[in-house]
Structure 1
Amino acid sequence: MFTKLRNKFLILNMSITSMVMITAFAVIYFITYSNIHSEIQNKLKARSETQIRTAGINLLDDMEKGVSIVRRFSLEDLLSFNVEVDPNGRILKIYSFIDMPEEVYYKAVAAAWSSKRNNSTITLEGKQWQYLITQMGRRVILKNGQQYSLMDNKYQITFLDITESNRTLFELLITLLFVGLIMLFVIFIISLYFANRSIKPIAETWEKQKQFIADASHELKTPLSIINANYDALLANQEETIKSQLKWLDYIKIGTDRMTKLINDLLSLAKIEDVNFEMQKMPFNISNAVHDVLSSMEAVAIEKGIQLSHSIEADIIVKSDLEKVKQVITILFDNAIKYSNENGQIDISLIKSKRQVIYSIKNSGKGIAKQDLPKVFDRFYRADPSRTHENGGYGLGLSIAKTIIDGLGGEIHVASVENEYTTFSFTLGL
């Protein structure tokens, strides 16, 4: 399921990226093509106008009756040549500095004149030529200085070598394709990496949710089994008095109490994890809050023979949720008592450091294995499963504590050395 979801993300990302890249490369190629094509057109036009021109008639006096025609040839660009033809396409004159056989010029004119399509391309001698057909004319200058143009019954075909220009466009196209393929490969690798990273937390959350449902079902099964078993015992002894059956009723009460506590913890966890749930942050004295929790649970610790020591800095004011913070302190204190060894030690500390307050509680005891430390705040995790029913815990307390601290913008940590001690601590901004 998650592989398909990852592939959908990957396909969507690659499709969008490919479209953007293809569009960008197409724009680059189109602009380059237009510039080169425009440059070719300008060169053709310039060569057509400058290669062959007529200088006109000077009527100086009655004796000068003839017409003087002067033809000029431009040496600016040796990659072009001009051919003068009659209306039937027969060559009259060739103007060229390019060393080519004469039959090549005849082939060029025949190909151009047969199609008579300007700006078309032909191939000669392994090179590509673009041509322009224009009608020739004369500029006549009269004695009084007036001038006008006369159109001749001749045509000029201007050929321009565009082999390098086409090669440039082809090389640009190959470069864009090569760069595009490399970029697509790189983008694919990067997209695959980030797609896997994006899917990983979703997959982990899904697995945790499945495990949570399985664990919750297992935990609910135990008290329900107790209730059903004792209910059957009561039905089997219907003639007995209620007083004589109190032990079965007590067992049922124990089962319902355990199930009620579990359900309340689950509801509390679901409520805290709700994205719309807002903590009620108000300034309060966290030093007094720690003293209140310590006083309420001191008797339980003394009953177990645990020695308590504390170092609580006075009058530390924080802006947070008083009830939620007290709930976290209570969870950590209760956890320390449960997992302290007989006649053990619990040390509590509350200090202010820079712009945050640090609370820690350390208890002696069996400790937590190093490989289990990352799982401590998971739902239904138990550091000592064999003592679960004895202590009445479900492994939700620490998960609730972490969710609360995260919601308050703080951090919670655990450190432990096996067979020595375990320390839980959290920080909150002042």
Structure 2
Amino acid sequence: MFKKLRNRLLILNMSIISVVMIGAFAVIYLTTYNNIQTENQNKLELLSSKPNAAYLNLPDDTKKEKIIIGIIPSESSLSFNMLVNSDCEILKVISHIDMPEETYFKAAELALSGKKNTIISLENKRWQYKISPLNGTLVTREHGKKLIINSNGENVQITFLDITDSHKTLMELFTTLFFVGIIMLFVIFAISLFFASRSIAPIAETWEKQKQFIADVSHELKTPLAIINANSDALLANEGETIKSQKKWLDYIKNQTDRMGKLVNDLLYLAKTEDTNIKMLDTPFDISEIVSDVLLSMEAVAFEKDITLLQEVESNIIIKSDCEKIKQVITILMDNAIKYTEKKGRINITLKKTRHQLAFSIKNSGKGIPKKNLSKLFDRFYRVDPARTQENGGYGLGLPIAKAIIDRLGGKIYADSKENDGATFTFTLGL
């Protein structure tokens, strides 16, 4: 399921980025193409607009030659002009390019058989040409006299412009964009796969935690329900007995019902605490006094196990937070420390204030918690020693509740432990 979701995110991300990339490349290419085409067209217009002056300034000894070589235009691009009559015969060619005469005839043939303002390939070069009618009168000199060659616009002029370099530039740009696009697609695929996997990871983790949560709740409810069912069968098997004689079975049922009620209440409280729509209180109070009150309430339980309570609590520390929630966290940590401290052990409680935050920590003596278990301590229903926890009547929800409260209050809570040196639980709150 999550693999399909990841693939969908990957395809969506790839599609969006690819469309944007292709669009950007298309804009770059089309802009460059239009600029080059406009520039070539302007050159061609300029070359085709000045034919008559070139013809009129020809020397007299060129009158019998169709091709005149040596007149170099001011433009940097190669070009040449042709004068063609109505019978498609070449009258004159003005060119500074040394090409065979057959090449010029081929150029005229290709141009006249094609469309106006188009492109031909000739002599391993690409030429853009323009066919335009001669509106003026073209004259040449013969024995000092002027003769009219064209007066009715029957002759046409064909202007050729070498656009090989422009075409090469466009092809190089297209090739560059193509290969860059291919490389970018692979890079985008790798990046998209990485981020799609990272995006799915929290969802998959939450899903697994939810499945584990359901399994844990089912497991925790299974034993009490089995006990209740067995004791109910025992009661039904002795219908004639009095309630007093059946009190043992009823006590078992009542005990397991109370345990299930506590479990349900803890789960509801945890869900309520994690609900971000429910606002936490934010009032000033003396946390030093709260710590002292909790310690005082726990002294009797600690005394039963002969546990020594050592405290280093700064006085008169005023913070602005939810008093009842903070008290509950301290109670959970204190109760947890007493449960997991051996007889005649000790517990150190510390409350200190720095410039920007306060820190509360509680450390108990004992064998400690393995490092591999530290990261799981705040998971729901997690127990380092399940058998011992069952003896204490816990479900492994105390620490998750404490973490949910501290997280909602904007603080941090964590655990640390060394082998045979007990465990330390600490939470910090900003001031």
TM > 0.5 between the two?
yes
Q: Partners in 1 of 2:52 and 2:223 — Cα distance?
A: 107
Q: Any residues of structure 2 matched to 1:194-233 within 5 Å, and which?
A: 194-233=195-234
Contact 2:72 2:95 in 1 (8 A): no
**Secondary structure of 2:73 counterpart:** coil
Q: Any residues of structure 2 matched to 1:21-420 within 5 Å, and which?
A: 21-53=21-53, 73-77=71-75, 79-115=78-114, 117-138=115-136, 152-420=153-421
Q: Partners in 1 of 2:135 and 2:203 — Cα distance?
A: 80
**Runs of 4+ that moved beyond 3 A:** 71-74, 137-140, 149-153
Q: Partners in 2 of 1:408 and 1:256 — Cα distance?
A: 33
Amino acid in structure 1 at the alignment position of 2:22: I
How far apart are 1:91 and its partner, in Å? Answer: 0.4
Contact 2:287 2:319 in 1 (8 A): yes
Amino acid in structure 2 at the alignment position of 1:288: E
How far apart are 1:47 and its partner, in Å? Answer: 1.0
Q: Which position in structure 1 is the counterpart of 2:10?
A: 10
Residues 213-260 of structure 1: per-residue CA shift (max 9 Å, x gap): 000100011111111111111122222222222111111111011101
Contact 2:72 2:96 in 1 (8 A): no
Contact 2:232 2:249 in 1 (8 A): yes
- Of 272-281 and 29-38, deviating more is 272-281
Q: Partners in 2 of 1:121 and 1:90 — Cα distance?
A: 21
Q: Partners in 2 of 1:75 and 1:224 — Cα distance?
A: 104
- Of 175-184 and 229-238, deviating more is 229-238
Q: Partners in 2 of 1:47 and 1:137 — Cα distance?
A: 15
Unaligned stretches of 5+ in structure 2?
57-67, 139-149
Residues 294-350 of structure 1: per-residue CA shift (max 9 Å, x gap): 111111111111111111111111111111111111110110011001111011111
Residues 156-196 of structure 1: per-residue CA shift (max 9 Å, x gap): 10011111111111111111111111111111111111111
1:73 and 1:45, CA in 2 relative to 1: closer, same or farther beyond 3 A?
farther
- Of 243-252 and 420-429, deviating more is 243-252
Residues 232-291 of structure 1: per-residue CA shift (max 9 Å, x gap): 111222222222221111111110111011111111111111231221121111111111
Amino acid in structure 2 at the alignment position of 1:251: Y
Q: Partners in 2 of 1:240 and 1:137 — Cα distance?
A: 130
Amino acid in structure 1 at the alignment position of 2:128: Q
Contact 1:51 1:74 in 2 (8 A): no
Q: Partners in 2 of 1:305 and 1:253 — Cα distance?
A: 31
Q: Partners in 2 of 1:151 and 1:362 — Cα distance?
A: 112
Amino acid in structure 1 at the alignment position of 2:24: A
Contact 1:348 1:360 in 2 (8 A): yes
1:98 and 1:54, CA in 2 relative to 1: closer, same or farther beyond 3 A?
closer
- Of 77-86 and 368-377, deviating more is 77-86
Amino acid in structure 1 at the alignment position of 2:97: I
Q: Partners in 1 of 2:30 and 2:289 — Cα distance?
A: 75
How far apart are 1:54 and its partner, in Å? Answer: 6.9
1:302 and 1:151, CA in 2 relative to 1: closer, same or farther beyond 3 A?
farther
How far apart are 1:151 and its partner, in Å? Answer: 6.0
Q: Partners in 1 of 2:288 and 2:387 — Cα distance?
A: 35
**Secondary structure of 2:87 counterpart:** coil
How far apart are 1:366 and its partner, in Å? Answer: 2.6
Aligned length: 407
Percent identity of paired positions between Structure 1 and Structure 2: 63
Amino acid in structure 2 at the alignment position of 1:404: I
Q: Partners in 1 of 2:172 and 2:152 — Cα distance?
A: 43
- Of 131-140 and 175-184, deviating more is 131-140
TM-score normalised to structure 2 length: 0.91
Question: CA-atom RMSD, angstroms?
Answer: 1.9
How far apart are 1:372 and its partner, in Å? Answer: 0.7
Q: Partners in 2 of 1:179 and 1:50 — Cα distance?
A: 43
Unaligned stretches of 5+ in structure 1?
57-70, 141-148
**Secondary structure of 1:368 counterpart:** coil
Contact 1:52 1:73 in 2 (8 A): no
Contact 1:51 1:73 in 2 (8 A): no
Q: Which position in structure 2 is the counterpart of 1:426?
A: 427
